[in-house]
Amino acid sequence: MAIDYKKLLASEQRDLPFSYRDQDTLLYALAVGLGKDPLHQKELDYVYEGKSQKTVPTLASILTPGGFLQDCGWDYSKVLHGGQQLQLHRPLPPASDLLLNRRVVAAYDKGERKGAIICTETEARLAKDDTAMFTLASTIVARGDGGFGGSTDLPPKPYKLPERSPDMVCDLVTAKNQALLYRLCGDRNPLHADPVFARKVGFSVPILHGLCTYGIACHAILKTICDYDHTLISGFDVRFTAPVIPGDVITTEMWQDSNVVSFKCMVKARGVTVLNNGRCTIAV
């Protein structure tokens, strides 16, 4: 079944209920590497509800149910997450009931055997009073689905990083079981847990979720620039460029210009950039 362009652009869900609780918020923080030192008070506030529980801003990336576009006609085995953009209208509470509006905003046809790029957007608001919480945009690369008659325009160019040396650098070590922990946040794809499955699709071992790497990048900026103040981050955009293998050391390079932090993440031991064209907005 091929992608139906008109049907794809009309794909929409409105007032979709979604709830999360404090244990989901605590688990997410642990899954992106916070709390490794249980005596580090500023990190403890993210993984323990006892004092004043904080929320990692990129928690928003998992506050949507799966299944959107599952029947759009694409070859899901060849679908990749190309990029993630987040705008926070206010800090996330530790627990909440949300209403979500989801839609497809664009679909770019690169041509037969060249794939497609599909852009989606989710707007979230509090169920109790319609307060706007966040807007989450995803860029999806459907490698097996070009030639369906979609727009042949080029998608927007990625955000450009500064050309000078980074102002700050942060190294964070991923745990060998980090993918097994992160998958409990909602993404149970066997690629991140089953060695046999991972080898069948071309990886020597299960790889880390891209959205886990996304959260680790946020962890690095919280630690290095924000002194663990989650309320400072109001936007967080990245492009996914290579997978992380659990156990890798992720090096985040950062450039700060006024209230914008540009960043990229690398695994220097393997010579790869895993996140690129990163842009974090600091609230002023």
Q: Is 145 designated active site?
A: no
Catalytic residue among 45, 192, 209, 237: 192
Q: Is 237 designated active site?
A: no
- Does 268 score more than 80 pLDDT? yes
29 DSSP 8-state letter = H
pLDDT tens profile 32-66: 999 999 999 999 999 999 888 999 999 999 999 98
Which pLDDT does position 75 carry in this prediction? 81
Q: How far apart are the first and last CA of the chain?
A: 48
Distance, in Å, from the CA atom of 108 to the CA atom of 266, rounded to the nearest integer, reads 28
Task: Convert 33-58 to b/e letters by CB count within 10 Å (16 or more is b).
Answer: bbbeeeeeeebbbbbeeeeebbbbbb
Q: Is 85 helix (H, G, I), strand (E, B) or coil?
A: strand
Which pLDDT does position 113 carry in this prediction? 81
What is the percentage of the chain residues whose pLDDT exceeds 70? 100
Lowest mean pLDDT among 135-149, 170-184, 256-270: 135-149
What is the percentage of the chain residues whose pLDDT exceeds 90? 82
CA nearest 31: which of 201, 174, 191? Answer: 174
Catalytic residue among 4, 75, 167, 187: 187
- Does 1 score more than 70 pLDDT? no
Tokens for 224, please give them. 């290095």
Contact present, 225 and 256 (Cβ < 8 Å): yes
Contact present, 116 and 146 (Cβ < 8 Å): yes
Which pLDDT does position 112 carry in this prediction? 86
Cβ atoms within 10 Å, residue 257: 9
Which pLDDT does position 143 carry in this prediction? 86
Tokens for 37, please give them. 């030192």
Cβ atoms within 10 Å, residue 137: 16
Which pLDDT does position 218 carry in this prediction? 98
Residues 6+ apart with CB under 8 A from 18: 63, 64, 65, 97, 98, 99, 100, 124
Which pLDDT does position 78 carry in this prediction? 80
pLDDT band at 181 (very low <50, low <70, confident <90, very high): very high
Question: Which amino acid appears at position 39 of this protein?
Answer: L
Q: Which domains does the chain have, with CATH numbers?
A: 5-142 (3.10.129.10), 168-282 (3.10.129.10)
Q: Is 212 helix (H, G, I), strand (E, B) or coil?
A: helix
pLDDT band at 276 (very low <50, low <70, confident <90, very high): very high
CA nearest 53: which of 21, 16, 24, 94? Answer: 94
pLDDT band at 259 (very low <50, low <70, confident <90, very high): very high
Q: What stretches of the chain adopt beta strand conformation (E)? A: 12-20, 79-88, 96-111, 115-126, 132-142, 168-173, 233-240, 249-257, 260-267, 272-282
Greatest alpha-carbon span in the chain: 56
Contact present, 99 and 68 (Cβ < 8 Å): no
